Structure formats: structure tokens, C-alpha cells
A and B are shown apart, each in its own frame.
Chain A
């Protein structure tokens, strides 16, 4: 479906944007408080242009918005993308679902051979 494909593209953009540690760092900062591109650039050992490029990637993924105010370009984490609290909780929930699946797999693994209780401190194979 077209909608799914569009969604997939948006997901890919967000994924790509967050694949980089500097961009994640920038995002976390501007979620906390809006910052100018120049004040962000001062924090990283890279050129103004490089930081600006990172911001542009975040912007394309709709994770941040950029607004010109006087001579400054102010970057702000986009509440649009970071969305409502319940949407956020949903995503956090996914992390927990994945963990519980892993616990499940772990418990299923010892259901296989001997039913005898294993000593708590023994080496696990």
C-alpha cells in the first residue's frame, strides 16, 4: 500500500538520521532546549558546515525544526515528531516487548533437556 510505503520512507529517514551519534546528541540537546546552529557547532570538534549538515538530516526526518531569528538559526526538537506522551510510551513499550520475548526464549531454552532443577550457581552451558 502507498501509505505503508510512505510510512516506510519516513521510518527510513528517521532511522538514518538517528544512526549517527552526533545527530542523536544534537537531537537530545535541542529536545531539552532550543539552540542556535552556531552554539551547537561550538560543542563539537567539527566545522560549522558539518554541524549544519547534521541538522539538515535531522530536519529532513522531521526530528527538528529550524527557524531563522535575526542572524541566528534556532534549532528545536520537533514535538510533532517526538509526538504525544502516549505515542512515546508506545515506543518505549516496544523495547519492553522485545525484552520479554528474549526472557521467553531464555526460559524456553531450559525447558528442553533434564527436568532436574539446576543449581543456581552452576556454569550454564
Chain B
């Protein structure tokens, strides 16, 4: 299992996901630093992301768009608050065309990533900070489509007794 620990703090409204990745820290850093690599993992399954801007320095901005299974487009942006290669970064993740044109009423999540060398690999600790429960509700409502798809696929596999169908 890649994800080794998850801490949900409903009071502080944070979610911390810790994973163990089988690659050196400098290599893991590249999945954040290289927009072509980011595109391969940032979009939830079925929602590939395309990064059009990626100014990977403190104060820099990244812009991306995700395309859904029905051809819907969701635009998002990051504002990098801190970029400290290869040990960590902090950013704000929002919806809309950019930090100067955020989608009105849409939540902004602050994300902190830390990379530690561990047993020849990398331990990545990601903490998402939500400003309010309402924001979290909105995010989940919007992410639910993908979340439920993934969950129901897992359920299918479980119902099939863990055997991959066909």
C-alpha cells in the first residue's frame, strides 16, 4: 500500500495523507516540478489535467484545466506560496482562471507537501487545509462524481469477491 497514513481532523478541517513512494526524493520532486508529469497525476481518474502555466517559484502561479468524461471543462489554478526543492512546497489551489480571477464563491484549499527521505525511498506528507466546513462540502459535492465512480468500482470488485471481472 502506497498510502501509509491518513489523519482526518474535522475540528481543524485538515486532511493529511502520508504515502511511501519507491523513488528518490529528487525524482519525486520532479512530479511536482515538471508540468508534463503533473498532468499525469493531478486530474482525478477520468479527468485529465492540462497545465498551461507553471511558474514553479514562491509567488508563482500555475493554471490548469481538467476535462471530464462528458467533455466538461473545469479550470483551476495554483498560487505557490513556498517552493523549497526538494523538501517541500506550499500552495493555494482554487477554481477559475487564476488567483486574480477566481471562480466566485468557490473554495480555495491550502496545500502543504513535504518530502522526506525514508528507507531508500521518499515519504510524502500532504496536508490540505480547508477554510470552512462549507468549503469542504462544496469541494466534495464537486468531486463526488469522480469519488463515487472510484468507490463504486471498488465496490464492484469487492462484490465480485476481489476477482477482476472478465
Q: Could you list which residues of chain A lie within 8 angstroms of chain B, going by C-beta atoms?
A: 4, 7-8, 11-12, 14-15, 18-19, 21, 24, 27-28, 31-32, 63, 77, 82, 84-86, 88-108, 110-111, 120, 124
CA distance in complex: A56, B141 (Å):
17
Q: Render B145-162 as a binary contact track against A, CB cut-off 8 A, 1 for contact.
A: 111111110010001000
**Quick check: B6 and A82 within 8 Å, CB to CB?**
no
**Quick check: A90 and B126 within 8 Å, CB to CB?**
no
Q: How many residues of B contact A (CB 8 A)?
A: 52
Q: Could you list which residues of chain B lie within 8 angstroms of chain A, going by C-beta atoms?
A: 2-3, 6, 8, 10, 13, 15, 17, 19, 21-23, 27-28, 30-31, 33-34, 36-37, 40-42, 44-45, 70, 72, 105, 124, 126, 128, 133-134, 136-152, 155, 159
CA distance in complex: A89, B27 (Å):
29
With A31-B134, A32-B105, A107-B27 as known contacts, state yes or no: A90 contacts B8, CB within 8 Å: yes
**Quick check: A89 and B10 within 8 Å, CB to CB?**
yes
| A100 closest partner in B (C-beta) | B19
CA distance in complex: A37, B3 (Å):
43
CA distance in complex: A32, B137 (Å):
9
Question: Which B residues are CB-close (under 8 A) to A21?
Answer: 72
For the complex of A and B, 10 pairs with smallest distance between CB atoms: A102-B41, A85-B10, A89-B8, A107-B23, A86-B10, A96-B17, A88-B140, A103-B41, A100-B19, A91-B147
**Quick check: B6 and A93 within 8 Å, CB to CB?**
yes
CA distance in complex: A100, B28 (Å):
11
CA distance in complex: A4, B31 (Å):
37
- 12 A-B residue pairs with Cβ-Cβ distance under 8 Å, sorted by A, are A8-B155, A15-B144, A27-B141, A28-B142, A89-B8, A92-B140, A93-B6, A97-B17, A99-B41, A100-B124, A107-B28, A107-B31
**Quick check: A15 and B152 within 8 Å, CB to CB?**
yes
Question: Which B residues are CB-close (under 8 A) to A14?
Answer: 144, 148
Q: A8-B152, A106-B31 are in contact. List 16 more A-B contacts (CB 8 A).
A: A4-B155, A15-B145, A18-B144, A19-B145, A31-B137, A31-B138, A32-B138, A77-B137, A89-B8, A90-B8, A92-B128, A92-B139, A95-B143, A106-B41, A107-B21, A111-B22
